[in-house]
Amino acid sequence: MQVYFDVSELYYMPQYAPICSALTAAGVDCCFVFYRNRGLDDLISSFREEFEVSYVDSVDEAVSVYQAKKPDWIIFGNKIHSIEKVQKYSKTALVSHGIGPKSCYYTVSDMPTTVRFVEGPYRADRLRQMYPSQSFVDTGYAKLDPAINGDLSNLKPSDFGLDDTKKTILYAPTFYPSSIERFSRSFPLDFKHYNIILKPHYFSLSIDKYKKQKALLEHWSTFDNVYLAQVEESNILPFMAVSDALISDASSTLFEFAALDKPVIWCDFLKLRWGYRGILSFRFKKRMDQDLYKYADIAAHAKSYSQLLSVVDEQIRFPEQFSNQRAKYTLSLAGIVDGKVSERIVQYMLSHS
């Protein structure tokens, strides 16, 4: 049996990696198809040593590879055009790279894959209502498996050049809409009693459109209590493992961290483009899943940067404050968090090959 992973974005890899490990343990050959035009050639060269790797310049070229190789399964992290061309020869699966509140979580399923592996019963039911002719299997969220299985339990802040005697805050904003521009340049000084790990979306570090975000992140990284994750450090799980609390905004990371039953601070202060404000605010609502505020009480909220430190301090002192809500919403957003999601996905693929 052979399985191909379509890696049109590097940040799909943390979701793919546990599935690949489970497939390899079952004796399945895995191949990763990377897109050269993402400018990531140097970052992914190490994969050649462990797995079969193909490089393509476009979706059309990737489709040609799949048509020629005819793998048993192809796993996608997002929708592509011309999927019907590869389904003549291979089964296809959609594995979402995130569990956050953006509406694209649902609309991506207008691509008719053989199956979509879904995170929890609530989302599975909603997707079945939206796309009744398609197949959805509730397996859980594979990305979290290594954190639950204890694979990362030996990590500590000093592994990232930080102080093991301090509590560690993980700041993981998305690129848009983001809270980054609303933070002070003195962020590390304001939070000097904490370690700070900065794990932005890689768009914030790699795309010129977000160069102001990059400049601010790099400024913060000059402080002794700060570690800035680089683009090639695509997997956020090691940073989650060593962190005591998370600061984030409308990002999947917020719900992933909550699934580990650790405190989350949700930034309500976002930098919106003019085209998303005022009478055009409907564009922002369209971009975000309207279920967003159903989950608002999964976290403590900071309505402004000036409130942030006091909110963080309180969550560090009382980490159990939102524990019940975290457990409740984790079930509906991530499904069962037991470290065996990848095994369930692989079992399904083996039994339907």
Answer yes or no: is pLDDT of 283 > 50: no
Q: What is the pLDDT of residues 326-341, one digit of tens each?
A: 999 888 888 899 999 9
- Between CA 56 and CA 37 the distance in angstroms is 8
List domains and CATH numbers for the chain.
2-141+336-351 (3.40.50.2000), 154-333 (3.40.50.2000)
Contact 20, 345 (CB under 8 A): no
pLDDT at 146: 93
Over residues 231-241, the pLDDT tens digits come to 878 789 999 99
DSSP secondary structure, 161-197, as one string: T--TTS-EEEE---SSSBSGGGS-TTHHHHTTTSEEE
Predicted model pTM? 0.83
8 A C-beta contact, residue 137 and residue 161: no
Reported as a pLDDT band with limits 50, 70 and 90, residue 42 is low
For residue 164, pLDDT over 70 is answered with yes
pLDDT in tens, 246-278: 999 867 788 899 999 999 999 988 754 434 444
Residue-level pLDDT at 281: 45
Q: Where are the alpha helices (DSSP H) in the chain?
A: 13-25, 59-69, 83-86, 104-107, 121-130, 145-148, 187-190, 202-206, 211-220, 237-242, 252-258, 282-287, 305-317, 323-333, 341-351
